Amino acid sequence: MTYYRTTVTGVGPEAGDMLAAGVLILYAEPLPDALADVSVVHRPEDRSAALTIGVGDVVSVGGHELSVTAVGEIAAKNLDELGHVVLYVDQPDQKLLPGAVHAAGGVPDPRPGHVIEFRSLR
């Protein structure tokens, strides 16, 4: 079941460098100017309060699917309230920060118009 669906509206000029390092920063419009350069900016379309991010969920970015392996304690709240989450992709040794999500499955290549979905398999 999809519990969060959004569309990419922009990719900051430094977001590619972050992605190359396995870090995907999502932030919904409007976002702080300080984060615009490194973020994948999006416009949420559908949110379900019934579910939140959990281990084993799938994050699909333009059809590229990632499996959630760890969830920081405030990641779900940040996604719901700000549309903000930091995805660490294929970095199992990275310390889990409170607002972060660890995922596996290769680094996606987000582009404007791509749909991002968070889906529960629970």
pLDDT tens digit string along 89-99?
A: 999 899 999 99
pTM (predicted TM-score): 0.93
> Quick check: bond before 32 cis, omega within 30?
no
- Rounded to whole angstroms, how far apart are CA atoms 104 and 122? 18
Q: Which of 26, 3, 118 is nearest to 78 (CA)?
A: 26
- Rounded to whole angstroms, how far apart are CA atoms 100 and 23? 10
**Residue pointed to by tokens 């969920």:** 57
Active site residues: 42
Q: CATH classification of 2-119, choosing from 3.40.50.620, 2.40.33.40, 2.102.10.10, 3.30.565.10?
A: 2.40.33.40
Q: Domain locations in the chain?
A: 2-119
Q: Are the beta carbons of 7 and 117 closer than 8 angstroms?
A: no
pLDDT tens digit string along 47-73?
A: 887 788 999 999 999 999 999 999 999
Task: Write down how long the chain is.
Answer: 122
